[in-house]
Amino acid sequence: MHRPERLQKIISAHGAASRRQAEKMILEGRVTVNGLTAATGQSAVFGSDVIAIDGVCLPEKDGYIYIMLNKPRGYLSTVRDDRGRKTVMELVADAGVRVYPVGRLDLNSEGLLLLTNDGEFANTVAHPSYNKEKIYTARVRGDVRKAAKLLAEPIEIDNYTVHALYVELCTVSAEGGVLKIAIAEGRNRQIRKMCAACGVKISELKRICVGTLELGSLKPGQWRYMTEEEVLSLGEKCCIHED
């Protein structure tokens, strides 16, 4: 007989969400065990206990799916939105398997977004402690030369000190210019807040790289499966979906 395990670990192991997302689901009352709302810290035995999220039973652990999407502006990086706004789930509906965004890009940002049903992989890629490099191009308005110098130094936002891995000044115009910025932490709206702290405002923000994975020629709104080599390069050994 299987031993009891924490619910967030079970949910993550079965690819329904990362552990952090699972903990949030439990706090929001979205998880039930044997028909009763689950509590934080609760354990269960998969197979003996009936575990459900939003009324849907947790599926058997199966082959994992790894997707890279070029997220257009105007889409939320979330599974659902109470206000009825468009989400990235509409763009990957034809994947055939339910997946979840790895981290997020805000509504007005675009570019490389990963989706998967492998919770451990999602945690490895998205959690700040794993220091996965993320590269963005930012079209900004304001003194772009001054901002490039300031962005290269530690900056305090939201009572936390952040820093860019590197900053490249790509173009300069009368209104502003384009910067390429690499970070590791990936905190909420970090690039936008860093630029604002340095006196420039972002008009376009695009993520072009996560770790070793580059956006490449993928067009806005399009997605594709990641290759085994790409998945392994991000630090996870796992079973790859065959298209």
Is there a domain that residue 153 lies in?
A: yes
Domain match, 70 and 115 both: yes
What ranges in the chain are assigned the alpha helix state H? 7-13, 19-27, 119-126, 144-151, 190-197, 228-233
**Residue 151 is part of a domain; what is its CATH number?**
3.30.2350.10
Write out pLDDT tens, residues 144-186.
Answer: 999 999 999 999 998 889 989 999 999 999 999 999 999 988 7
Is there a domain that residue 243 lies in?
A: no
pLDDT (0 to 100) of residue 1: 46
Domain match, 105 and 224 both: yes
**Residue 12 is part of a domain; what is its CATH number?**
3.10.290.10
Residue of 106, 118, 158, 243 with catalytic role: 106
pLDDT (0 to 100) of residue 21: 83
Domain match, 117 and 225 both: yes
Q: Which residue, among 198, 196, 218, 197, has the nearest Cα to 206 in the 3D structure?
A: 218
Write out pLDDT tens, residues 83-136.
Answer: 989 999 999 988 767 888 998 899 999 999 999 988 888 888 877 666 789 999
pLDDT (0 to 100) of residue 242: 41
Q: Say whether pLDDT at 60 is over 70.
A: no
Structural domain total, the chain: 3
pTM for this model (two decimals): 0.73
Cα–Cα distance, 172 to 160 (Å, whole number): 30
94 an active-site residue?
no
Domain match, 146 and 201 both: yes
Domain match, 195 and 97 both: no
Query: DSSP string covering 94-149, please?
Result: GGSS--EEES---TT-EEEEEEES-HHHHHHHH-GGG---EEEEEEEES-HHHHHH
Domain match, 115 and 222 both: yes
pLDDT (0 to 100) of residue 128: 67
Cα–Cα distance, 121 to 235 (Å, whole number): 8
Write out pLDDT tens, residues 198-237.
Answer: 999 999 999 999 998 999 999 999 999 888 888 888 865 4
Give the pLDDT mean for 56-75. 84
Domain match, 42 and 159 both: no
Range of the domain at 122: 66-129+214-233
